[in-house]
Amino acid sequence: MGAARRLATSQAGMIDVHTHAIDPDLADVSARFPGVYPTVQRTSEDTAQIWLDGRMYREIDSRCWSAADRVRDMDAEGVAMQVVSPIPVTLSHSEPADGAAALAEAQNNFLAKLVEDAPGRLAAFGCVPLQSPRRAIAELARCIEDLGFVGVEIGTRVGDRELSDPEFLPFFQAAGELGATVFIHPVDRTLDTRLAKLRLTFGMGMPTETAIAAAGLLVAGVLSAAPNVRICLAHAGGALPSVLPRVAFGQRIVEGVTVDEYMATRQARKLWSDSLTYDINSLRLALTRYGEDHVVLGTDYPFTAMETPAGAVLADVLSQLGRSTHDAIARGNALSLFPDPA
């Protein structure tokens, strides 16, 4: 049974497409390859630390690797299924491709095992060494065809290259051909250092990073050149819903674009996003920009930034926008985002 079919036949309840996981015994690929890659150090049976470049990056606990712990929390909050994805800092898009490929393979193997440990309750976004589009496509195909994943997660840039670089177009086209969803999530290590001084990396850095990457894809025409790809943006696309009209106006006055079909506001209707806005008014805007059928539930489980309880904002959706919109975000739209290949 394909991953998407498992979603469709899962028990009643919400489908959370934005959650993270990591292997507590993740291999140290820097011992074999040049570059700076994350490692995990256990501190107890139920806790661990992610280390990167000689510094402790984050404290984590067993919810990151225990299917039983995840399912316990899911049952408590009415979540029928989670889509697990790598912790973004582990994507390592800026490092040499050999190490990134080894890390991606190891993480994908772990995620496959995690999904197996909770039959019918978990699906997965894998990861790929995007700095080498050829190898990324090969790992993408393994994720979909061999491991049964619903797609892959990528960052918002690849070193100093943008996702809209023509070099990456074959990757997006391959994703479309394979029926894979591409989940775009910002990585905090790629943000403007100015924001750290202002203590705005979370509040401003991540939302603007996602908006820039997504807007770049829209104005470059990537969604037209790869018409079958399904791209889902984390955090409702960050600042993108707010800036889309200005981006489109800029296309007119700077680039001379006159055809509505190519405007960012029109192209954005091809995008998907999660619901993680912490605010009903921000979510309303995302629904307006992408369409009420293109927004899915996302919580950022199991980290501090997660929405608690899962789907908390949906209470306001139910009271203000009605049952059909509530149910679409909570579950129905995910079934359309992850259709089984014909």
Bridge partners, 49 (sequence order): 41, 59
Domain boundaries, the chain: 2-20+63-337
- Tokens in use for 36? 């700076």
The pLDDT assigned to 190 comes to 84
Q: pTM value?
A: 0.96
Please work out, in degrees rounded to the nearest 5, the angle formed at the alpha carbon of residue 315 by the alpha carbons of 3 and 241.
70
pLDDT at 12: 84
* Structure token pair of residue 233: 């943006």
Helix (H, G, I), strand (E, B) or coil at 341: coil
Contact status, residue 210 vs residue 240, Cβ threshold 8 Å = yes
Query: 74 near 9, Cβ under 8 Å?
Result: no
Fold classification of 2-20+63-337 (topology level) = TIM Barrel (3.20.20)
275 residue type, one letter: S
- 164 by Cβ neighbours in 10 Å (0-12 / 13-18 / 19+) ranks as buried
Residue with tokens 């705005």: 200
pLDDT of residue 6: 64
Mean pLDDT by groups of 10 residues along the chain of 342 residues: 61 94 94 94 96 95 98 98 98 97 98 97 98 98 98 97 98 98 94 89 94 97 96 98 96 90 94 97 98 98 96 95 97 92 49
Residues 6+ apart with CB under 8 A from 168: 130, 133, 158, 161
Q: What is the dihedral sign for C-alpha 303, 333, 188, 191?
A: negative
Report the interhelical angle of 240-255 vs 280-290 (nearest 10°).
40
